[in-house]
């Protein structure tokens, strides 16, 4: 009886180890530049949330600072998409490299919308800033529809 119990524990123990390593592999699936840009996009999502909260509190300083970070990211973004980096688990569409002008245009739209949000937040005008925020969110979505699987 005791031995049976022990074997049962050992089995559970081994099963847990198996599970945790499987999980590690999944997390490590995205490597190098792909992992870096995924992290950058996750950060973009957080920044958009921060801007949204800033709009509710009329905190134009937070909005401007977050938009500055997005502007910076728009300028770096092309470097994060080297040819052939549409490898699983990346969701990058191969259209990024088949239609480089279209992709650059989508980045440019994002850059200009970030810049506009910075400028509007400096006016401390709530409605104008909300509009600029909506336009910016539209450039995220626009690019995803065309260039994200």
Rule CB under 6 A: which residues touch ligand HEC?
34, 37-38, 41-42, 44-45, 48, 70, 90-92, 106-107, 110, 139-140, 143-144, 147-148
Q: How far apart are CA 149 and CA 144, in angstroms?
A: 8
Residue 80: CB minimum distance to ligand HEC, A: 8
Residue 24: CB minimum distance to ligand HEC, A: 17
Let me know: does 138 contact 117? Beta carbons within 8 Å. no
Please give the structure tokens belonging to residue 8: 């049962």
Please give the structure tokens belonging to residue 135: 């336009």
Which CB atom, from 8 or from 134, has the smaller least distance to ligand HEC? 134
Q: How far apart are CA 95 and CA 103, in angstroms?
A: 8
Residue 38: CB minimum distance to ligand HEC, A: 4
Which CB atom, from 16 or from 91, has the smaller least distance to ligand HEC? 91
Residue 5: CB minimum distance to ligand HEC, A: 43
Which CB atom, from 106 or from 132, has the smaller least distance to ligand HEC? 106
**Cβ burial 91-108 (10 Å sphere, 16+ → b, else e):** ebbeebbeeeeebeebbe
Residue 1: CB minimum distance to ligand HEC, A: 49
Residue that has been written with the tokens 């998409």 in this structure: 81
- Whose CA is closest to 147, among 97, 76, 112? 97
When computed from its CA atoms, the radius of gyration of the chain, rounded to whole angstroms, is: 22
């Amino acid at each position: 009886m005791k031995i049976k119990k022990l074997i049962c524990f050992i089995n559970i123990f081994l099963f847990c180890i198996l599970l945790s390593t499987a999980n590690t592999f999944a997390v490590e699936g995205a490597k190098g530049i792909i992992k870096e840009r995924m992290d950058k996009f996750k950060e973009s999502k957080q920044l958009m949330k921060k801007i949204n909260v800033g709009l509710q509190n009329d905190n134009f300083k937070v909005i401007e600072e977050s938009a500055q970070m997005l502007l910076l990211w728009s300028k770096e973004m092309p470097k994060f998409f080297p040819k052939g980096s549409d490898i699983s688990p990346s969701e990058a569409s191969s259209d990024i490299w088949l239609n480089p002008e279209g992709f650059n245009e989508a980045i440019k739209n994002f850059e200009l919308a970030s810049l506009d949000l910075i400028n509007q937040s400096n006016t401390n005008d709530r409605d104008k800033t909300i509009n600029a925020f909506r336009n910016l969110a539209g450039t995220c979505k626009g690019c995803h529809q065309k260039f994200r699987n």
